[in-house]
């Protein structure tokens, strides 16, 4: 299996060898898909199945702490996540890259572009149901979500992670909200994916995406940007995320899926795939 090894230093100053699993499928223009929380690279199954048919090289990987990648105790902050992404792009010698971050993965996109894209390696980016620009409600961010909500998520993860993640998935995919619910088999498969991580990495990653401020990162973005979000997203509400993102990146192409939940990459996969293919191959 393909792995990249990093000796990145976390915010605490500790250094640890971390192996990052990646998958590289197809030939053509490269896109790097960055998975959301609490999933792994396998969430992109229905994109990996389709996009290589359209002259697109699809790279997916497991964030540290998730899937087949190493599960260190530290390093669950966005500066470290962006370092990991940088290493993957350099290891594969990718140029003219499209970065596509879903949910938590949108944070990696924003932080990478702000810190590392001076070489122009990345030429397009997509934020999909993303947590940008800042999810936490503060005095200067009144549209954010209250800290109490994230504290409750942490508590439930510590008490019964499988139970919480099973319930979380139903909201994630809009079960009982729409007339096109996902199958029970899909939900069971999804649960297995979300449990393929360490409990501590799941919690620490949640604390990162819920409290990291990406507003200054977004202000630096000059390349073409696609923002996709479901109007009925109850996991990362559109008013707290995409609506605020486009205020900071007014040149972005903004597409709202009127009846979509958070997990539109699956519930609306055919439309989503078409939009990604068109954006990448433009």
Convert the pLDDT of each residue in 218-233 to its tens digit: 999 999 999 999 999 9
What is the arrangement of strands in the sheet containing 97-102, beginning at the earlier edge strand? 3-6, 18-25, 56-61, 29-34, 97-102, 122-128, 225-230, 253-257
Closest alpha carbon to 226 in 265, 268, 279, 264: 279
103 catalytic? Reply is yes
Residue 71: per-residue pLDDT: 96
Any bridge partners for residue 6, and if so which? 18
69, 103, 210, 241: which one is catalytic? 103
CA angle in degrees (0–180, nearest 5) for 135-154-267: 60
Residue 238: per-residue pLDDT: 98
What residues contact 148, with CB distance under 8 A and at least 6 apart?
Answer: none
35, 41, 229, 262: which one is catalytic? 262
Residue 157: per-residue pLDDT: 98
Convert the pLDDT of each residue in 68-89 to its tens digit: 999 999 999 999 999 999 999 9
CA gap 105, 35 in Å, rounded: 5
Q: Parallel, antiparallel, or unpaired for β 18-25 and 3-6?
A: antiparallel
Q: Parallel, antiparallel, or unpaired for β 122-128 and 253-257?
A: unpaired
CA gap 201, 38 in Å, rounded: 9
**What is each CA distance from 122 to 193, 259, 262, 272, in whole angstroms?**
29, 31, 25, 21
15 catalytic? Reply is no
Average pLDDT, the chain: 95
The pTM for the full model equals: 0.95
233 catalytic? Reply is yes
3-281 is a CATH 3.30.70.260 domain: no
Cα first-last separation, the chain: 32
Q: Parallel, antiparallel, or unpaired for β 97-102 and 56-61?
A: unpaired
Residue 12: per-residue pLDDT: 62
CA gap 257, 263 in Å, rounded: 11
């Amino acid at each position: 299996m393909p792995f990249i090894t990093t000796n990145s230093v976390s915010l605490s100053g500790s250094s640890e060898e971390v192996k990052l699993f990646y998958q590289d499928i197809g030939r053509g223009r490269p896109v790097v898909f960055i998975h959301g929380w609490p999933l792994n690279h396998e969430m992109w199954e229905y994109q990996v199945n389709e996009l290589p048919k359209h002259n697109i090289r699809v790279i997916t990987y497991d964030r540290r702490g998730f899937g087949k990648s190493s599960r260190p105790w530290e390093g669950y902050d966005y500066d470290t996540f962006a370092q990991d992404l940088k290493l993957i792009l350099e290891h594969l010698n990718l140029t003219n890259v499209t970065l596509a971050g879903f949910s938590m993965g949108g944070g990696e996109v924003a932080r990478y572009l702000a810190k590392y894209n001076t070489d122009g390696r990345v030429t397009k980016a997509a934020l999909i149901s993303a947590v940008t620009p800042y999810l936490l409600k503060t005095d200067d961010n009144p549209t954010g979500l209250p800290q109490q909500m994230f504290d409750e998520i942490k508590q439930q993860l510590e008490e019964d992670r499988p139970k919480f993640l099973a319930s979380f998935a139903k909201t994630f995919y809009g079960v009982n909200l729409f007339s096109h619910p996902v199958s029970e088999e899909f939900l069971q498969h999804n649960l297995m994916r979300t449990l393929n991580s360490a409990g501590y990495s799941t919690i620490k990653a949640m604390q990162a995406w819920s409290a990291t401020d990406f507003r200054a990162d977004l202000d630096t973005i000059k390349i073409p940007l696609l923002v996709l979000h479901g109007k009925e997203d109850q996991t990362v509400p559109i008013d707290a995320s995409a609506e605020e993102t486009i205020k900071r990146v007014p040149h972005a192409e903004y597409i709202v899926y009127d009846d979509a939940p958070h997990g539109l990459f699956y519930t609306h996969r055919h439309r989503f795939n078409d939009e990604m293919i068109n954006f990448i191959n433009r």
